[in-house]
Amino acid sequence: MKTLKELEAIRQKTLNELNLRKNREDGIRVVVGLATCGIAAGARPVMAAFVDEVNKRQLTNVTVSQTGCIGLCRLEPIVEVYLPGQEKVTYCKVTPDQVGRIVSEHIVNGNPVMEYTIGNFE
Amino acid sequence: MIYRSHVLVCAGTGCTSSNSLRIIENFHKKLEETGYDKEVQVIRTGCFGLCAAGPIVVVYPEGVYYSHVKPEDVEEIVNEHIIKGRPVQRLIYKEHDESGVNTTLNDSDFYKKQHRIALRNCGMIDPENIDEYIAFDGYKALGKVLTEMTRDEVIDTVIRSGLRGRGGGGFPTGLKWKFAKAPESDVKYVCCNADEGDPGAFMDRSVLEGDPHSVLEAMTIAGYAIGAQQGYIYVRAEYPIAVKRLRVAIGQAREYGLLGDNIMDTGFKFDIDLRLGSGAFVCGEETALLASIEGGRGEPRPRPPFPAVKGLFGKPTLLNNVETYANICQIILNGPEWFASMGTEKSKGTKVFALGGKINNTGLVEIPMGTTLREVIYEIGGGIPNGKKFKAAQTGGPSGGCIPAQHLDVPIDYDNLISIGSMMGSGGMIVMDEDNCMVNIAKFFLEFTVDESCGKCPPCRIGTRRMLEMLEKITSGKGEPGDIEKLEKLAYNIKAAALCGLGQTAPNPVLSTIRYFRDEYEAHIYEKRCPAGVCKALLQYTIDPEKCRGCSLCARKCPAGAISGEIKKPFVIDPAKCIKCGACMEACKFGAISKK
Ligand SMILES: Cc1cc2nc3c(=O)[nH]c(=O)nc-3n(C[C@H](O)[C@H](O)[C@H](O)COP(=O)(O)O)c2cc1C
Ligand code: FES
């Protein structure tokens, strides 16, 4: 038999899992370029690292999704981060071990990791 | 387990019948093959509502809305959308007026004007996973009721919400609960009417298929409020998917201790069982339904005593409709004021309609009470196919009536519909255009009631048959002056004398079509003409000698040998031999044949 407390625990846990089905105005979006060029440059592990990191920190307002080729194939893997009400920030040549910093500094604290952004590559 | 993407595939009855289970299978296969099965979850949901565009697939987090998906399209969706992030444009749902492409569900015209309370979880959750229901506040209302509210407070909340029965009658739900609580009795029952007999209606089926726990939870709340420990859901056996999901849901709820002894450790005890109906329309009537649950013949009995006093097995019984229950938990959680803030003065909240007939977006819509028919048909429903003209909408099924064009702007609620000669009914809404013959429509509904009359009372058993015979006479060109008046007189007598709601309402489709389309009846009787060109016996096929080239194709196609003529000269149809099959008209390349 489940008590009210246990039900609440199930609710929280499942809600985390269902989060991406909800339309949220306050949502943060991480978009990884996953066209042929992105995949060849190693975008899949980057994507996986984002999904992992977001789940570990229980960031329920963050969705990680994929997009096609942005047209800057030489700079792949490319990751775009959209914070509500702000310009998007584009990261280039992202590797899985950079993901932790992007999540903690940018997504959690709101400070883009400038040294990984596109400005440093152009 | 957290996934980065969810693929929701509709497994409602509509989409299942167009092969959505194969789609699900293919997604599993393809995702496994490509190694994406750890990142992407495939979920089987209930009906999304837009069954006409099915099978439906929705991909989150983007919310991309695919329609008319075929099993072989899965490969492209996985390769392009899931792997490379490029939604498959050709499969994305498009509006009927070609106004453009809407990538997401909530932006489409079909969804924009809807307000989903009873259908809130349909197409959102996996109905066979209780955890998903719990995540969207499932069983929270039950928790609140059992730990924070007295029985009277629950009933008072339902009364103040203004909720009225969605099964057709529109009786205030809270009041019914109060009546069922009043009698002292150690045994009481809570029943759910999932018989859904109206032709064309599938609101209740969709709730049960898409969100079965919402009904279980509400029935448990009702059990607490009236003091019952046992519930029954009477569901028709023709709804195999609904039955299966209810069984799964009841099993899960028992496992979690949300049904059974000592629910949520509060000491409250309640359980629910299913009873399958065999599809007799009259078994939707409350006293017949209870008789059928008891194992007897599904025949109505006179009321009073009402079920609240003497119902199932002679004990006080509460009976509500599926959709009525589907509103309860939201009312408990959001408060009666929230619910009462939607709708019109005497009809609160929303109503689900099953839109069908001559309409582009066939499907399920849930709209606030007070929405106009025009909004439902032209904005949500996407208008009438092939640019045809709206003639009438039938609501209330075989008990209801038609709403003609002049009432398109009447706000839909219980009382307005009755005042214009129709009724809310359980929510079937059949749209008719200029090609529908209203006498024929009335005949269709009467055929249904004649078939379904249980035979217990003579006004219904004999009276409706006599009415049907008169309609058959009129549609076959043998109508006589005075027939309309005779029909009306008999109709009023049946309404006054029949035992149960079936007979009392059976004449309604005839009365309302006479009221608004008397001229069509008159054309059939006095001019032997069917203005819509439907009633075969009144049709005349003729060949226009100006347009006929004398090719003889029609004569060769005619199965009755009714067409004769000389090559290169106009042919003629012999009306005595013509069986009015229309084969000649279809065959003619010059549009020379017409029917009138
Ligand atoms: C002939 C006949 C058929 C009916 N069929 C249904 C039905 O299929 N489903 C339903 O919920 N109510 C049906 N009703 C209405 C029920 O008798 C009853 O009023 C209703 O289930 C009560 O629930 P509610 O107050 O929640 O609407 C029918 C009534 C009649 C007279
Ligand atoms: S059954 Fe799939 S949308 Fe209705």
Over residues B409-434, the pLDDT tens digits come to: 999 999 999 999 899 988 999 999 99
Please name which of B327, B319, B351 lies closest in space to residue B157, comparing C-alpha atoms. Answer: B327
CA of A64 vs chain B CAs: smallest distance (Å): 6
CB pair distance less than 8 Å for A34 and B6: no
Q: How many domains does chain A have?
A: 1
User: How do beta strands B563-564 and B572-573 pair?
Assistant: antiparallel
Domain covering B350-433 in this structure, CATH number: 3.10.20.600
Topology of domain B540-595, per CATH?
A: Alpha-Beta Plaits (3.30.70)
Q: Do B4 and A51 touch (CB under 8 A)?
A: yes
pLDDT at A23 over 70: no
Phi-psi region of B586 (alpha: psi -120 to 50; beta: other; left: phi over 0): alpha
- By CA distance, what is B266's nearest residue in A? A3
- List CB contacts (< 8 A) between A82 and chain B: none
> Sign of the C-alpha dihedral, residues A116, A121, B4, B8?
positive
B124 phi/psi in degrees, rounded to 5: -110, -35
| Residues of chain B numbered 254-283 and touching chain A (CB < 8 Å) | 256-258, 260, 262-265
Q: Strands A62-67, A28-33: parallel, antiparallel or unpaired by DSSP?
A: parallel
The preferred substitution site among B173, B278, B285, B303 for testing ligand 1, maximizing ligand atoms within 8 Å of CB, is B285
Ligand 2: residue of B8, B51, B365 to mutate (most ligand atoms within 8 A of CB) is B51
A50 token code pair:
């984002």
Query: A25: pLDDT confidence band, cut at 50, 70 and 90?
Result: low
Taking domain B5-112, whether its CATH number is 3.40.30.10 is answered by yes
> Which run of H or E residues covers position B75?
helix B74-76
> Hey, what are B73's tokens?
């399209």
- pLDDT score for B103: 62
| Minimum distance, in Å, between the CA of residue A81 and any CA atom of chain B | 15
Q: Is residue A42 part of a domain?
A: yes
State yes or no: pLDDT of B496 exceeds 80.
yes
Nearest-ligand number for the alpha carbon of B319: 1
Distance B72 CA to ligand 2 centre (A): 19
Task: Please tell me the predicted confidence (pLDDT) of residue B527.
Answer: 93
Domain B438-526 CATH (choose: 3.40.50.720, 2.40.30.10, 1.20.1440.230, 1.10.10.60): 1.20.1440.230
Chain A residues with CB under 8 Å of B124 CB are 21
**Which pLDDT tens digit goes with each residue over A26-56?**
678 898 888 888 888 888 899 889 988 988 8
Global pTM? 0.89
Q: Is the pLDDT of residue B340 over 60?
A: yes
Residue in chain B nearest A67 by alpha carbon: B85
Task: Tell me, yes or no, whether A90 lies in a domain.
Answer: yes
Instruction: Give the model's pLDDT for residue B99.
Output: 56
**Residue B117 tokens, joined:** 């309370």
Residue A76 lies in a domain: yes
Mean pLDDT computed over B511-516: 96
- B195 pocket-lining for ligand 1 (C-beta < 6 Å): yes
* Local structure of residue B89 (DSSP, 8 states): G
For residue B54, CA distances in Å to B88, B92, B171, B270, B436 come to 16, 12, 35, 38, 26
- Which of A4, A55, A67 has the CB atom closest to B85's CB atom? A67
Q: What is the mean pLDDT of residues B129-147?
A: 96
Atom number, ligand 2, closest to the C-alpha of residue B209: 1
Does residue B215 line the site of ligand 2, with CB under 6 A?
no
User: What integer is the mean pLDDT of B143-148?
Assistant: 96
Point out the residue among B5, B132, B265 whose CB comes nearest to the CB of A18. Answer: B132
| CB proximity B36 to A under 8 Å | no
Which of residues 68 through 107 in chain B touch A, CB cutoff 8 A? Answer: 82-86, 106
> For residues B411 and B372, what is the distance between their CA atoms, to the nearest angstrom?
4
Q: Which residues of B touch A7 (CB under 8 A)?
A: 134, 139-140, 143, 256, 264
Cβ of B109 less than 6 Å from ligand 1: no
A18 lies in a domain? no
**Separation of B320 CA from ligand 1 center, angstroms?**
8
B12 pocket-lining for ligand 2 (C-beta < 6 Å): yes
Homologous superfamily of B130-340:
NADH-ubiquinone oxidoreductase 51kDa subunit (3.40.50.11540)
CATH 3.30.70.20 residue window(s) in chain B:
540-595
* Position in ligand 2 atom list of the atom nearest CA B10: 2
- Residue B124, classed as helix, strand or coil, is coil
Residue B73 has pLDDT above 70, yes or no: yes
Residues 357-386 of B with CB under 8 A from A: none
C-alpha to C-alpha distance for B591 and B542, rounded to whole angstroms:
11
**Ligand 2 pocket residue status of B47, Cβ below 6 Å:** yes
The residue contributing the CA closest to ligand 1 atom 9 is B196
The residue-averaged pLDDT of B464-480 equals 96
Pocket test for ligand 1, best of B319, B321, B322, B414 (most atoms within 8 A of CB): B321
Q: Is the CB of B426 under 6 A from ligand 1?
A: yes
Burial B449-463 (b: 16+ CB within 10 A, else e): bbebbbebbebbbeb
Q: Which of chain A's residues have a Cβ under 8 Å away from the Cβ of B140? A: 7, 11
Start-end of CATH 3.40.30.10 domains in chain B:
5-112
Is the predicted pLDDT of residue B399 greater than 70, yes or no? yes
- Domain containing residue A115: CATH number: 3.40.30.10
Q: What is the ipTM of this complex?
A: 0.81
Q: Is pLDDT above 70 for B98?
A: no
The domain of A114 spans 24-120
Give the mean model confidence (pLDDT) for residues B83-96: 85
Domain span(s) for CATH 3.10.20.600 in chain B:
350-433
CA pseudo-torsion sign B104, B105, B111, B112: negative
Write the pLDDT tens digit of every residue in A70-116: 778 888 899 999 888 788 899 989 999 999 999 999 999 988 998 88
Is residue B418 within 8 A of residue B396, CB to CB? The reply is: no
> Where in chain B are all domains bearing CATH 1.20.1440.230?
438-526
Tell me if B343 sits within 8 A of B369, measured CB to CB: yes
